[in-house]
Amino acid sequence: MPMERDRYSRQILFRPIGREGQSKLAQSRVAIVGMGALGTVSASHLVRAGVGYVRLIDRDVVEESNLQRQSLYLEADALQHRPKAEAAAQILREANSEVVIEPIVDDLHATNAEWLLSDVDVIVDGTDNFQVRYLMNDISVKHGIPWSYGGAVSSHGVTAFFRPEQTPCFVCLFGSDASMPGHDTCDTVGVISPVVSMIASLQTADVLKYLTGNEARIANRATHLDVWANDYYHTELGQPREDCPCCKHHQYRALDAKSGAMAVSLCGRATVQVRPDHPVAIDMEAFARRLAAFGKVNFNGHILRCELDGATLTLFQDGRALVHGTSEPAVARMLYARYVGM
């Protein structure tokens, strides 16, 4: 089609991609886990590049504090508290109608990880916690799917491209403890948008190399940078560890857990996510009427928000909730039990 040739003409002129590479992109499938700062930049690059299918996975809604660095969202999205995956999908479809975009309003956990990630060619990390990264790593090793790791906080960031049987896996480098206590977060030290854009761009450059058959151009190293201190350096990844429980002995501890923490704090603000132990289907209209007796309710057909006891509860149809106004999981669980009752 003439429009297709015009749309991707500058990318096709780039010899390492060319027409053959562009055709490969059109047949490729990518999942992006987390549609925050890193995820929005990665999604924009990949959709505009013509990756044929992109799945957007995110559990959260748009907040005003996101707008400083999460490039696909508008003020109206924050005012309406739209789910990030759906808000991003709308913008991306308008940018490239040729790409199939599937928004998933949920978080990644042990019971849905294989369903959401095992049918794609590459997994892109846009998350802000290590527990989810261990899940992505398990899926990567078990199903032979590479994944692009990225993290950014304050003014510094890091990225690496993990390929099963070719590079060490995440467990090789960081051990088996998914809790990883003591590291900085955007809650504690903040984050500026330039480092996010740079890390996500490096991530997606490696994804494009892989999908277009230029895997030899992917370095076996982690890239570190600090945009404020003007630092840029690399760490060699080396080879997989012979004693690695994941990639050598095929023990998928994160994936085999089958149930995650009931409550987990989210990065960037005083919010805790609470998830029921078992999947449920909520009658949202009935819950809106029920909660109206306790506080101001806003129901937009997808999610329900209610102000109660000095906090705001955002309820999703699968029973998952975000409790805004606290960073304490115990407080969030108490409010959830009191008003949701599961």
Q: Which residues 6+ apart lie within 8 Å of 39 measured at CB?
A: 32, 33, 56, 58, 88, 124, 126, 200
Provide the token pair at 239. 């080879």
Alpha helices in 127-215 (DSSP H): 130-143, 170-174, 186-189, 193-211
Rounded Cα gap, residues 105 and 127, in angstroms = 14
Provide the token pair at 311. 């906090």
- 186 flagged as catalytic: yes
Provide the token pair at 100. 């199939």
Q: Do 137 and 169 form a contact (C-beta atoms < 8 A)?
A: yes
> Which residues lie across from 311 on neighbouring strands?
308
Q: Which residues 6+ apart lie within 8 Å of 145 measured at CB?
A: 117, 118, 120, 121, 122, 123, 139, 164
Provide the token pair at 178. 């998914």
| DSSP labels, 272-335 | EEE--SS-----HHHHHHHHTTTS-EEE-SS-EEEEETTEEEEE-TTS-EEEET---HHHHHHH
* Catalytic residue from among 169, 172, 186, 244: 186
In angstroms, what CA-CA distances link 77 with 65, 223, 327? 12, 33, 23
The residues annotated as belonging to the active site are 186
